[in-house]
DNA sequence: CGCCGCTTGGAATAAATATTCCAAAAGTTG
DNA sequence: CAACTTTTGGAATATTTATTCCAAGCGGCG
């Protein structure tokens, strides 16, 4: 019954709530031309910035001309950007539950609830990252990068809980066109003979140290290949075998580590090696 | 010693943080003429709306003419309303805006010392974790856990950059004695027929979305099996296929994500499912 | 009670911002 | 490969919004 003779031009239903907005966005996104698709994605990833941005800013963020973003608003059912923004400005109720407040809320759930667990892991991850930033030994890091940069092929090995790190390293190396091989233990094939003179090993293991990882590192060491270790303490068995040992202090929660610090360290290493090789 | 011949007009120091703003406000409020006093009071009571309001709106709220509010801004040390608003707009969006700029600079400058890189990745990880804590939708999380807890076998799939997450999930599930199967794409075997009635799929993928992951999810969906998605935005193609979609805001470094937030979320999910099944 | 400095409101102006429109480019289809 | 449709970018325009400025108001003080 919208008899507004004024706004007759838009019988189309613009989303009235943020929920509706999201649904609509998800619904139309897939069959959208290239430019509009970029808008949709950027908007989806930055919904919370709509309230405080201008067309130009958002457009720049999405890397499209402003007019494209304008069209996007209209496709979403609004008369224009301003109308869309109005929705979000009104919904901008919650002030800003800053991080620590929000964390408390999450933890306030019954213990063992997903949200409470998440709060703990987030906290553990953050502490680990902070500890890492403080404790890292730059010289060891530099040496590790130098060694790996000189290697022909980098052999990455890490099993069990270190495997995610190893596989991410392999991914990053591949993306940066650094010759690397992931020793994944598939089929119990150990590929030990893939180690060639000129190569280097990057071994990752935490207590309880994985037998296979140590074996490969020892093997390489015995044959005079440089070994870089990524481990938890300097007393790790890797320390004796490795030419450079980078330690990472990871905070546990329950039986599991967040791996945040380890992965941050691993990517840094990989990216540094990647740039150094160019 | 501000020798800026440009901004000589304002040697006064405008508040640089919300904290400073509040202090200043409290300090000057009492000895202010009537109209300005009204501004101060209204602003103090509605600090959080500054970011999303116009001069006119705020002035109306304070029941003063716009020009009075303008004067108020200047007395607070800003050049005008816009500058004041900028403070709140930037403070609102969690550090993200100038962060991507900083990364660009870093890349451009080739200041790629490993330690510097590490600092950036640590920062990216921290921001991601904080953003995750702020943005996570508890209900979706609960639903995801409930669904997975009921499943006979959980099929975990995630390739390329999502693979580390998938493999860590597989590790945690194994440790907690939750029947789970990691679809790793080894040998291009897709194991699609391992999906049995009563099972559930936990799919992880980020843009650019991996074909194989989507295929498996679609397959499961078509056969009526519950699909839980772990992805970057709600516009992800996973969103259409999944019964519950958990999104993770992760800060990129070029092509590389820190994964911190994603892993934290993944473990929480896994541990919650593990406990729920006991 | 009339002068003077501080305060105020509003109209005028400047700046920023949104929005439209059209010509060119990119695809599509027969 | 030509005719046609859709998509795109950017310049032109309209609208909103911020900001300045000045004349009028107010209150204290001699």
Query: Nearest-CA residue of chain A relative to B164?
Result: A164
Kindly report the bases of strand C lying within 7 A of a protein C-beta atom.
Answer: 6-11, 16-21
Residue ranges of chain A that CATH labels 1.10.10.10: 6-91
What whole-number distance in Å separates Cα of residue A261 and Cα of residue B26?
41
pLDDT per position as a tens digit, A193-217 = 889 999 999 999 998 899 999 999 9
pLDDT reading at B10 higher than 60: no
**Mapping DSSP to helix (H, G, I), strand (E, B) and coil, where does residue B202 land?**
strand
- A89 contacts on B by Cβ (under 8 Å): 52-53
Q: Which residues of A15-25 are buried (b: 16+ CB within 10 A; e: fewer)?
A: beebeebbebb
**What is the sign of the dihedral through the CA atoms of A113, A115, A119 and A124?**
positive
Q: Closest Cα partner for A46 from A63, A31, A32, A34? A: A63
Query: Hey, what CATH class is A133-276 in?
Result: alpha beta
* Residue B9 confidence class, pLDDT cut points 50, 70, 90: very low
pLDDT reading at A122 higher than 60: yes
* Residue B94 confidence class, pLDDT cut points 50, 70, 90: low
pLDDT reading at B97 higher than 80: no
The gap between A54 CA and D16 C1' (Å) is 13
Pull the structure tokens for residue A85.
């923004």
Range B159-164 average pLDDT:
94
Do B132 and B264 form a contact (C-beta atoms < 8 A)?
yes
Provide CB contacts within 8 A for B155, sequence distance 6+: B180, B181, B183, B194, B195, B199, B200, B201, B202, B216, B220
Residue ranges of chain B that CATH labels 3.40.50.10490: 133-276
Pull the structure tokens for residue A24.
């609509």
* Residue B130 confidence class, pLDDT cut points 50, 70, 90: confident
pLDDT per position as a tens digit, B261-271 = 999 999 999 99
pLDDT reading at A278 higher than 50: yes
Residues above pLDDT 70, as percent of chain A = 94
Q: Judge: A119–B133 Cβ closer than 8 Å, yes or no.
A: yes
How is domain B6-92 classified at the CATH fold level?
Arc Repressor Mutant, subunit A (1.10.10)
Q: Judge: B126–A129 Cβ closer than 8 Å, yes or no.
A: yes
Range A98-126 average pLDDT:
84
pLDDT per position as a tens digit, A41-84 = 899 888 888 999 999 999 999 999 999 999 999 999 999 999 99
Provide CB contacts within 8 A for B16, sequence distance 6+: B87
Nucleotide minimizing C1' to CA distance for residue B53 = D17
The gap between A186 CA and D23 C1' (Å) is 87
Residue ranges of chain B that CATH labels 1.10.10.10: 6-92
Name the residue among A95, A164, A269 with its Cβ closest to that of B114.
A269
DSSP secondary structure string, A64-78?
A: S-HHHHHHHHHHTT-
Residues above pLDDT 90, as percent of chain A = 66
Q: Closest Cα partner for A165 from A42, A237, A263, A48? A: A263
What whole-number distance in Å separates Cα of residue A153 and Cα of residue A142?
19
Query: Nearest-CA residue of chain B relative to A109?
Result: B138
Query: Hey, what CATH class is A6-91 in?
Result: mainly alpha
Query: Nearest-CA residue of chain B relative to A112?
Result: B272
pLDDT per position as a tens digit, B170-226 = 999 999 999 999 999 887 788 888 999 999 999 999 988 899 999 999 999 999 999
């Amino acid at each position: 019954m919208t008899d507004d003779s004024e706004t007759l031009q838009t019988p189309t239903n613009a989303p009235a709530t943020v929920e509706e907005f999201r649904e609509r966005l998800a619904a139309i996104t897939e069959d959208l031309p290239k430019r509009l698709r970029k808008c949709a994605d950027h908007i989806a990833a930055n919904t919370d910035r709509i309230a405080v941005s201008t067309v130009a800013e958002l457009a720049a963020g999405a890397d499209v001309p402003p007019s494209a973003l304008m069209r996007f608003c209209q496709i979403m059912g609004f008369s224009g950007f301003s109308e869309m923004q109005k929705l979000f400005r009104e919904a901008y109720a919650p002030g800003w539950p800053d991080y620590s407040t929000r964390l408390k809320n999450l933890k306030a759930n019954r213990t063992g609830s997903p949200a409470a667990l998440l709060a703990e892991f987030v906290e553990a991850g953050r502490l680990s990252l902070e500890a890492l930033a403080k404790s890292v030994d730059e010289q060891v890091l530099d040496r590790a990068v130098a060694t790996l940069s000189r290697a022909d092929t980098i052999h990455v090995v890490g099993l069990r809980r270190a495997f995610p790190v190893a596989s991410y390293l392999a991914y990053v190396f591949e993306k940066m066109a650094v010759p690397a091989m992931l020793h994944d233990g598939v089929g119990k094939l150990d590929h030990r003979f893939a180690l060639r003179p000129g190569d280097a090993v990057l071994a990752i293991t935490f207590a309880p140290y994985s037998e296979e990882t140590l074996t490969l590192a020892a093997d390489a060491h015995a044959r005079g290949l440089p070994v870089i270790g990524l481990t938890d303490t300097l007393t790790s068995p890797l320390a004796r075998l490795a030419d450079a040992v980078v330690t990472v202090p990871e905070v546990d929660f329950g039986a599991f580590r967040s791996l945040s610090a380890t992965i941050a360290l691993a990517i840094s290493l990989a990216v540094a090696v990647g740039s150094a090789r160019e």
